[in-house]
Amino acid sequence: MNASNRSSRVRRAVVGGITALVLAAGGGTAWALDRYVVDHVQIADVDAYEAAHAGSAEDRSDAETTVTGTTYESDDATVTISKHVTGTGSATVTYFVADVVLTDATRLRSAFADNRFGTNIVENTSQIAADNGAVFAINGDYYGFRDTGIVIRNGVVYRDKGARQGLAFYRDGTVKVYDETATTAQELLDAGVWNTLSFGPAVLQDGQVVAGIENVEVDTNFGNHSIQGDQPRTAVGVVDANHLVFVVVDGRSSGYSAGVTMTELATLMQGLGATTAYNLDGGGSSTMVFNGALVNNPLGKGAERGTSDILYIER
């Protein structure tokens, strides 16, 4: 099935669900469908755009790589996947950890659904991963749900509308939480930023649980759901320069995984050795892919929900 057909299939599913929500809400149907469902493509060929603005990606065709069970190893990246289960009965929590060690920070890359940039463009994490030769991938910040935030991916600026607390990955392997409204995309590029994420909030800073995280609302626009309570979660944590932990917590599935609160997520990341940790898009979007297979079980149903972007390690 080609990319166009895949996107159409995913879009039909999304349109059906959101149309029902809009009709139930009453009024403004055409506006809401246009804003939250209809594709608005700003860049139709991301690969070509990045090649023009940042040069072609490094050719790694001769790189030595091995995949053994739940571990991937190459000269510049090691990824180890593990499953964890805590609690019992309705309090059971199941989560998955990818421990990632890099020697080259630019090996952590980003990719957009259907190789296009804009709003409402979605594709399953596993498909975006396959299209980009990823051995490991995790859902990103769902940038396509909103038209604000600073979006820098693979060293290229896509959006410069600071609105919230962001996360910046630097070429030297450091990762920092920052205030998008206090800087610009160009200033970040000049400082060596390789990728940014615009979701949040940060749940750990300087090794401590951040106060007030249970009350944060990332978006307040139509159709946004609260991120509070026990939920499926995706997060990235920083152990040290070039040492990251990516976590997907399954949820909303009684007896398999209830999900976690923001504070519980922070404590979980703290236990993994992270000193900084940042919340990404969650719910049905929370997905981890390794070696061509879905690692987690979204909503206990084993089916992915389309998302707009991923972070990944190329094979």
> How many residues are listed for the chain in this entry?
315
Task: Give the start-to-end residue ranges of the domains of the chain.
Answer: 1-38, 44-314
43's CB contacts (< 8 A; 6+ apart) are 49, 116, 117, 118, 158
Phi, psi of 228 (to 5 degrees): -85, 170
Provide the sign of the torsion angle of the four alpha carbons 46, 50, 52, 57, taken in this order. negative
Q: Return the structure tokens found at 268.
A: 């979980």
Positive or negative, the Cα torsion across 50, 55, 61, 64? negative
Farthest-apart Cα atoms in the chain, separation: 57
Type of residue numbered 252: R
Please say whether the beta carbons of 235 and 203 come within 8 A.
Answer: yes
User: What residues are paired with 311 via a beta bridge?
Assistant: 110, 138
Query: How far is it, in rounded angstroms, from Cα 169 to Cα 178?
Result: 11
Contact 158/122 with Cβ under 8 angstroms?
Answer: no
Q: Model-level pTM?
A: 0.88
pLDDT tens-digit profile, the chain (315 residues): 444 444 444 444 444 444 444 444 455 677 666 766 787 899 999 999 999 998 655 666 567 899 999 999 999 999 999 999 999 999 999 999 999 999 999 999 999 999 999 999 999 999 999 999 999 999 999 999 999 999 999 999 999 999 999 999 999 999 999 999 999 999 999 999 999 999 999 999 999 999 999 998 888 665 555 688 999 999 999 999 999 999 999 999 999 999 999 999 999 999 999 999 999 999 999 999 999 999 999 999 989 999 999 999 999
Whether the link from the prior residue into 298 is cis, omega within 30° of 0, is no
